[in-house]
Structure 1
């Protein structure tokens, strides 16, 4: 970064008088310093709101209706058996059907399902292998094919790489039972596979995504809906016209949430955090995954994604420091940004009852997250399940070529 700034300054020396160059650099430094200061204020606000969000309580459902847990599968993922098994160990008194779906009857993920069938012989397990497609979003096609076999009217969609605790179904159904609620979704933390890059991915999830959602919801700016949990009734799903309409969406979960809101229902987020596997073992895999996720957010909420620049106070402060030539004020802002981000990490871990680890990685993680954020404003293409897609201005997918 310093080398880049020096190169820019050298080029400017050849085309502008020294005093003009200094004024321009000072103006840029002030701009970044102001943005970093606003980012620090945001970070302190998020630190306060995270604790308040998870301090809420959730009532148990008045009744315990039957629930169909809908799990689309694809491949033998890291700790797939453990993730799936967490849904079998629920403190829920009602009947539960476990509905698993694949496009190919030979999918390796089914080995984990069969092992669970042997381990839980009394569980109601249904497997659907159906290759029908309705658009480029293969996850939606899988879900549409599976729903023909759903036994209960409460549907809980959850991604295959999610792990939950024993209170999960009780809290989700209890929230869905509240007046006016049409859909329940949840925030999530990163559960990292062994290795450096999975730890970085988990840090980005825990200390950028999670507090960002909590803060956005609290100030009325965010309208989230995440595939890690989408629970709704069959009646609500029919009222919005079913799932097939989302077969061309990149952010199908966001589009589903918006459809529920349009019929006058609320999308609720209980004080419940689930774990989402972070498994990208190389820098390329990590960056590709994070870039797809960032572009998904951009497709779902362009103005909100632009305003998310304030979620990066430390990189902004370091830019102010570089452009100012190490000015004392910029140094103070950078120190304040680092302290604010450290406080946020500690508050998130405390609120979610997790042990804080790897604080020394925080500056690197923040810089990588900022790089992903900047890159998301470039090409609108994404790579998903090995297939490259282009994404239009409405967030619609079009396949380009196989990777």
Structure 2
């Protein structure tokens, strides 16, 4: 028990150092200038839809309010012509009558990843050679498209993706979910990029030219991938083109309205990362210094020497929240939730090693070492 206590204390110390480093790096990342476009090519924004999300209209409308002088086609797709998301698109047409909108309703599936099947059904209607794929649950500022195109026009860049912050729906559980996005995921991404340890690509934004899309064989190769965004990024790198992340964050809706939904979402994410990047997933234990410090106290029987690690870890984590909030120019709120989420998140991290089963949109799948999906029986 004493050995375990010392081991957890050592892990807490390393985690505290990582946390301090992440706080410094995130400020530097978002202080960088954004590239301005040299021209404004026509763009097709591809939006796969599924269901009537609470903030769907506001999220879609933010893309219609871009400060972008080039032509923009909005391409919306659903599997079911009775999907309630289409009512939101109808309202969007009424509010933005001059916007160029195309809707595709096609039930064809090419694999277990329904989002990719939806996109494949939509793409024959895409008229422009610059394609911006963006999830339905994100909102963006008016300079979003300018910034993305500016990065895409840099030499050797084949794909632009965006970091994102959590924007919670009303309620306790969405606020807790936003903690995971803002103060664990986002610092981890920035730190991984700075140290050359991360190669991310996020489905919240994937911008590429049509020739890059064709060079990687389109999206058909990714119909069995759970983390299709990661696989697409790797495919672009494999053809010798760069994947870049500009220094701004878009907003991702945190909608998990219950403990069960939140844990299921985070467990799916954690198990997916474990399967596609096992060493990186194991190394992510460093983002839990507070949990390791508490374990040091527990294994030492409450020894006095262990308690300073708890205080130092809590102080470091709270400092990161303040630094992230400053970098994102958002107000500080719910500081008391961060230690609670750190404990819950550490438990989810440990549980991620128990199984490779994930639940996605009500279906159970197994995820293999390549991140590929296969049907699974409920456990």
Q: TM-score range by the shorter chain?
A: over 0.9
The residue number in structure 1 matching 2:72 is 96
Match of 1:74 among 39, 50, 68: 50
What is the distance in 1 between the residues matched to 2:377 and 2:250? 34
**Cα deviation digits, residues 278-333 of structure 1 (max 9, x gap):** 11111111100111111122222111001000110000010011111222331111
Match of 1:383 among 359, 366, 371: 359
2:177, 2:262 within 8 Å by CA — same for their partners in 1?
yes
What residue is the counterpart of 1:4 in the other structure?
Answer: none
Unpaired segments ≥5 residues, structure 1: 1-24
Are 2:276 and 2:369, in contact at CA under 8 Å, matched by a contact in 1?
no
Match of 2:86 in 1: 110
Separation of aligned partners in 2, 1:376 and 1:236:
34
1:324 and 2:324 equivalent? no
Instruction: Report if the CA contact (8 A) 1:69-1:97 is conserved.
Output: yes
Alignment of 1:385-400 (within 5 A): 385-400=361-376
CA contact (8 A) 1:90 1:169 kept: yes
Correspondence for 1:360: 336
> Hey, what's the Cα distance between the residues in 2 that align with 1:189 and 1:141?
27
Larger-Rg structure: 1
Asked if 1:243 is matched to 2:213, the reply is no
| CA-atom RMSD in angstroms | 1.1
Alignment partners' CA distance in 1, 2:256 and 2:328 = 23
Inter-partner Cα distance in structure 2 for 1:151 and 1:376: 42
What is the TM-score when the length of structure 1 is the normalising length? 0.93
Q: How does 1:258-337 map to 2 (within 5 A)?
A: 258-337=234-313
> What is the CA–CA distance in structure 1 between the aligned matches of 2:276 and 2:8, rounded to whole Å?
27
Partner of 1:160: 136
Distance 1:151 1:118 in 2: 22
Q: What secondary structure sits across from 2:336 in the alignment?
A: helix
Instruction: From 31, 53, 60, give the equivalent of 2:36.
Output: 60
Conserved 8 A contact 1:181-1:266? yes
Change (3 A) 1:87 1:402: farther
Deviates more, 1:287-296 or 1:30-39: 287-296
1:84-125 residue CA offsets vs partner (Å, 9 max, x unmatched): 000001111111000000011111000000111111111100
Q: Which runs of 4+ in 1 moved over 6 A?
A: none
Native 8 Å contact 1:251 1:299 kept in 2: no
Q: Which runs of 5+ in 2 are unaligned?
A: none
2:27 matched residue in structure 1: 51
Q: What does residue 30 of structure 1 align with?
A: 6
Q: Distance in 2 between matches of 1:264 and 1:401?
A: 40
Matched, 1:253 2:214: no
Structure 2 partner of 1:12: none
2:207 to 231, 254, 274: 231
User: Which whole-Å deviations, capped at 9, do the CAs of 1:337-395 have from their partners, x for residues lacking one?
Assistant: 01100110000000000101000111101101111111111111111111111111221
Q: Which deviations, in whole Å up to 9, do the C-alpha atoms of 1:18-67 show, x marking residues without a partner?
A: xxxxxxx1100000000110000000000000000000011211000011
Question: C-alpha distance in 1, partners of 2:110/2:373?
Answer: 12
Q: Is the 8 A contact 1:386 1:402 kept in 2?
A: no
